[in-house]
Chain A
Amino acid sequence: GENVEQHPSTLSVQEGDSAVIKCTYSDSASNYFPWYKQELGKRPQLIIDIRSNVGEKKDQRIAVTLNKTAKHFSLHITETQPEDSAVYFCAASKDNQGGKLIFGQGTELSVKP
């Protein structure tokens, strides 16, 4: 089945710097790749997603890139702020309607003021 690897497991940056989190997936049939932000004890919140027919997507300070050939995708956060501190999860799915998700291990991002 699908396997998603996420790196790094922890990431600490200074406020204003950029943060990059990378994921690789194993199943070439996967075609939907969302990113979720989860604060302690809370539900995961969808922050951005990308489908396999697109190589890059941007929403304000957040961008995601997808390399289907290499089977990896990355989350880029620019101008980080302390409120960006949370655990970020990537996921992959063969359901491009956004259903069944296989998650990466998570990255704990800490943005220091």
Chain B
Amino acid sequence: GAVVSQHPSWVICKSGTSVKIECRSLDFQATTMFWYRQFPKQSLMLMATSNEGSKATYEQGVEKDKFLINHASLTLSTLTVTSAHPEDSSFYICSARADRASFFGQGTRLTVV
């Protein structure tokens, strides 16, 4: 399958700071990428759809000013968690569509202390 790479794999940050997570499609171009959040022992919840060259589409209840998404190229989408707080600690995973299926990055474990 297609390869999606996410960086960093884990990050610890102080409360009030911002963290940027990158999602790259390595062997294909992705005009659309998706960002999910997964709390421990829970399912993946779609946060937003990232569209290359245009604004992201956020799911209901997701604060667009807190979770900034930029999709500046056909192979890179970034998610910035602004003014992070302990309740933002979670596993963030991106996906991209290729070969009529979604392939996921390895995820980023964010811990806010």
Chain A positions within 8 Å of B, measured between CB atoms, are 1, 34, 36, 41-46, 49, 89, 95-106
Contacts and interface: CB of A to CB of B under 8 A. Distances in A.
Given A43-B106, A44-B104, A46-B1, A99 B32 contact: yes
Contacts of B109: 41
B34 A96 contact: no
A100 B100 contact: no
28 contacts: A34-B102, A36-B104, A41-B107, A42-B106, A42-B107, A43-B93, A43-B106, A43-B107, A44-B44, A45-B104, A46-B101, A46-B103, A49-B101, A89-B43, A89-B44, A98-B97, A98-B100, A98-B101, A99-B32, A100-B34, A100-B46, A100-B49, A101-B44, A101-B46, A101-B102, A102-B46, A103-B45, A106-B42
A14 B106 CA distance: 30
Nearest to B1: A46
Interface in B9-25: none
A28 B110 CA distance: 36
Nearest to A51: B100
Chain A interface main SS type: loop
A109 to B, nearest CB: 14
A36 B99 CA distance: 16
B46 A104 contact: no
A103 B43 contact: yes
A36 to B, nearest CB: 8
Contacts of A1: 60
Given A36-B104, A43-B104, A44-B104, 9 more contacts: A42-B107, A43-B105, A44-B44, A89-B43, A99-B97, A101-B34, A103-B43, A103-B46, A106-B43
B102 A98 contact: yes
In the A-B complex, the 9 residue pairs with the closest CB atoms: A98-B101, A43-B104, A99-B97, A103-B43, A103-B44, A43-B106, A98-B102, A98-B100, A105-B43
